[in-house]
């Protein structure tokens, strides 16, 4: 008996989503709880699983469609002996023309893994064999980037035979100009609205400082192997900055507060939103109760968020709340920036790349690994003195990590 696959509950206050990708096609068999479609919400991507095992007989949506919770995505029919018997009673179809070689390659591994429409298109365009490519997507699925990379590698590996005449140079394209119009994903639309709303609502201002990273880098070099062996996680910089932020937010509570109507909400805890990159944009999962956690647990939480952001398995619950944000543009090479706050939060700390620069120490010019740090804040709530003080506390804690151990 046919079973309808519906849009699942998406989270508190989330009522609709966009069809980001169809993971199966009509005629494919599915197992119980196997995902058949990827849905994009305002914050995360979620998957719609099949409630039964069977064969997909119909899709009632297409990529890009906006669907509400409970809407029908697809219909799954029976499989197994009953389906086989039904197929045997159907009239024989005329023989279909043989597929093109590239198409045959794309279809040859459908039993092993499902290719998304974008990946199938890339396979056909580049003429590569998908069964020879190792997927980097969730559960080993192929991505469009995997196909393109394999195609480029194939071009590099194929050498021109010595006896073959040199091919004539291809004529240079002159005056060719192309444009591509792509609809914004729901997540990107939400990011755009929230950032613009923050600029329109808050009185944004940014204060800067620079930090000598020598002490933290020495501590990491000295203890990174022991730390990884004991805690099974890498000792990164984010743990240091998270604990330094806890000191600053304790001493300057306005930086850890919200404005709600005509009231200020102060928090006696520190939930840090950590900006990480996901396939569809920047997301900010929350490391909760940082003031009570050690370096190891903070680093484990951040590493887990980074992995799940890449896999697209972050949940709405992971994103809820947050009293302060840390955004590390340095991993992409940023020297300096003015980050935008994440409403309803009132401040965000921006980290940047570390580079050797000449500085004066004890009257002498020396080379030190320096980082610019920036604190953007809502001037409606946080005065300049408070913002500068908070950033100075973070700077001092990073330059002398002992302060984080004795709560200075």
Domains and CATH numbers, the chain: 3-93 (2.40.50.100), 191-406 (3.30.559.10)
Confidence of residue 127 (pLDDT cuts 50, 70, 90): confident
Percent of the chain surpassing pLDDT 70: 80
Confidence of residue 93 (pLDDT cuts 50, 70, 90): very low
- Residue 82 is predicted with a pLDDT of 41
Chain Cα centroid distance, residue 168: 44
Q: Taking residues 44-69, what's their average pLDDT?
A: 84
C-alpha 199/C-alpha 367 separation (Å) is: 38
Rg, C-alpha atoms of the chain = 27
Q: Is 41's pLDDT higher than 80?
A: no
CA-wise closest residue to 238 among 298, 194, 290, 198: 298
Q: Taking residues 82-109, what's their average pLDDT?
A: 48
C-alpha 214/C-alpha 235 separation (Å) is: 15
* Ramachandran quadrant class, 393 (left: phi over 0; alpha: psi -120 to 50; beta: rest): alpha
What mean pLDDT value characterizes the chain? 81
Residues 6+ apart with CB under 8 A from 209: 372, 373, 391, 392, 395
Handedness of CA 255, 256, 258, 263 (dihedral sign): negative
Q: Taking residues 270-281, what's their average pLDDT?
A: 82
Q: Taking residues 73-90, what's their average pLDDT?
A: 60
- Residue 194 is predicted with a pLDDT of 81
Q: Is 193's pLDDT higher than 60?
A: yes
- Residue 335 is predicted with a pLDDT of 92
Q: Is 150's pLDDT higher than 50?
A: yes
C-alpha 86/C-alpha 219 separation (Å) is: 69
C-alpha 407/C-alpha 247 separation (Å) is: 7
Q: Is 168's pLDDT higher than 60?
A: no
Q: Is 387's pLDDT higher than 90?
A: yes
92 versus 212: the higher-pLDDT residue is 212
- Residue 69 is predicted with a pLDDT of 84
Q: Is 113's pLDDT higher than 70?
A: no
Q: Taking residues 385-391, what's their average pLDDT?
A: 96
Which positions are annotated as active-site residues?
379, 383
- Residue 85 is predicted with a pLDDT of 41
Q: Taking residues 340-344, what's their average pLDDT?
A: 90
Q: Is 89's pLDDT higher than 80?
A: no
Confidence of residue 254 (pLDDT cuts 50, 70, 90): very high
- Type and span of the H or E element at 324: strand 324-328
45 versus 347: the higher-pLDDT residue is 347
Q: Is 357's pLDDT higher than 80?
A: yes
Confidence of residue 311 (pLDDT cuts 50, 70, 90): confident
């Amino acid at each position: 008996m046919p079973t309808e696959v519906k849009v699942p509950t998406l989270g508190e206050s989330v009522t609709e989503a966009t069809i980001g990708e169809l993971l199966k096609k009509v005629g494919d068999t599915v197992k119980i709880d196997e995902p058949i479609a990827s849905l994009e919400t305002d914050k995360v991507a979620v998957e719609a699983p099949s409630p039964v095992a069977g064969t997909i007989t119909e899709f009632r949506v297409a990529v890009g469609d906006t669907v509400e919770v409970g809407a029908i995505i697809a219909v799954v029919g029976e499989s197994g002996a009953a389906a086989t018997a039904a197929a045997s009673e159907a009239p024989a179809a005329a023989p279909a023309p043989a597929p093109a070689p590239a198409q045959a390659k794309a279809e040859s591994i459908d039993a092993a893994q499902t290719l998304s429409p974008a990946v199938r298109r890339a396979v056909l365009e580049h003429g590569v064999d998908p069964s020879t490519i190792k997927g980097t997507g969730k559960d080993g699925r192929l991505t469009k980037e995997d196909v393109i990379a394999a195609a480029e590698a194939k071009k590099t590996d194929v050498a021109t035979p010595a006896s073959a005449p040199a091919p004539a140079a291809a004529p240079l394209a002159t005056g060719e100009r192309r444009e591509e119009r792509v609809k914004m994903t729901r997540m990107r639309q939400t990011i755009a609205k929230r950032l613009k709303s923050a600029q329109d609502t808050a009185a944004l201002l940014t204060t800067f400082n620079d930090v000598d990273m020598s002490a933290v880098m020495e501590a990491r070099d000295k203890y990174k192997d022991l730390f990884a062996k004991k805690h099974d996680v890498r000792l990164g910089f984010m743990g240091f900055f998270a604990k330094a932020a806890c000191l600053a937010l304790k001493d300057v509570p306005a930086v850890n507060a919200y404005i709600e109507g005509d009231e200020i909400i102060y928090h006696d805890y520190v939930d840090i939103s950590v900006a990480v990159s996901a396939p569809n944009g920047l997301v900010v999962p929350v490391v909760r109760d940082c003031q009570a956690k050690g370096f190891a647990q903070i680093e484990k939480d951040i590493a887990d968020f980074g992995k799940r952001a890449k896999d697209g398995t972050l949940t709405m619950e992971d994103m809820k709340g947050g009293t302060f944000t840390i955004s590390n543009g340095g991993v992409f090479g940023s020297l300096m920036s003015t980050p935008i706050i994440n409403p309803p939060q009132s401040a965000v700390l921006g980290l940047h790349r570390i580079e050797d620069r000449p500085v004066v120490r004890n009257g002498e010019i020396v080379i030190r690994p320096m980082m610019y740090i920036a604190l953007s804040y809502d001037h409606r709530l946080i005065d300049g003195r408070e913002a500068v003080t908070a950033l100075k506390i973070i700077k001092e804690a990073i330059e002398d990590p002992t302060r984080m151990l004795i709560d200075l």
